[in-house]
Chains A and B, each alone.
Chain A
Amino acid sequence: QKEVEQNSGPLSVPEGAIASLNCTYSDRGSQSFFWYRQYSGKSPELIMSIYSNGDKEDGRFTAQLNKASQYVSLLIRDSQPSDSATYLCAVKGSQGNLIFGKGTKLSVKP
């Protein structure tokens, strides 16, 4: 059973701090990784995709991938209250579907 694991949280950080979200996956052959943000009652929205080892930066967001450790993370710099949401890690499966973690709930306190 291919799995994606995340800490459920909640992760609470003060406004302006760095939020660090972590994810591990079980399928060593996975090649595509995604971070989604989901507000309560809404559909997920794509934040970042990453395919190669190392860091990928987009604005306040940095995704980090380490295939040897089967680990992918998301850093959010200068966290804002509007960043409060559940963050879903997803890995593309062999059938092209996305396999999701259970999500980490982030709370940014003003």
Chain B
Amino acid sequence: GAVVSQHPSWVICKSGTSVKIECRSLDFQATTMFWYRQFPKQSLMLMATSNEGSKATYEQGVEKDKFLINHASLTLSTLTVTSAHPEDSSFYICVPWGNTEAFFGQGTRLTVV
């Protein structure tokens, strides 16, 4: 199956700092990248969709200036949580879309203290 590398797998940061999460598709090209987050005991909620070389499309309620997405190449996308606050603590998952199915990154557990 396709290989997706997401890191870091977990990070603890202080309130007000920024955190960058990196997602790489190692053996396929992903023209579309989906970023999800999952709060405890909740389902995965789509945050934004990005296409390589284009600006990301954000879901309602997700601040584009707070969650910066860069999808500069077909194999790399990054999500930067800027000025993180405790309520941003969540499990963030990248999902690059291959030809016929989605492949999941390992997820990043972000804890803001």
**Interface residues of A, Cβ cutoff 8 Å to B:** 34, 41-46, 49, 88, 95-103
Q: Is the CB of B93 within 8 A of A43?
A: yes
Complex Cα distance A78/B97, Å?
A: 32
With contacts A49-B101, A98-B95, A101-B43 known, is A43 near B32, CB below 8 A? no
Say yes or no: is B74 at the interface (Cβ < 8 Å to chain A): no
**Chain B: which residue is nearest A42 at the CB level?**
B107
Chain A interface, >50% SS class: loop
List of A residues within 8 angstroms of B46 by Cβ: 97-99
**Interface residues of B, Cβ cutoff 8 Å to A:** 32, 34, 42-46, 49, 57, 91, 93, 95, 97, 101-102, 104-107, 109
Report the minimum CB–CB distance from A89 to chain B (whole Å).
Answer: 10
Q: Is the CB of A98 within 8 A of B102?
A: yes
**Chain A: which residue is nearest B91 at the CB level?**
A41
**Chain A: which residue is nearest B108 at the CB level?**
A43
Q: Is the CB of B42 within 8 A of A43?
A: no
Partner of A97 from B34, B91, B105, B107 at Cβ < 8 Å = B34
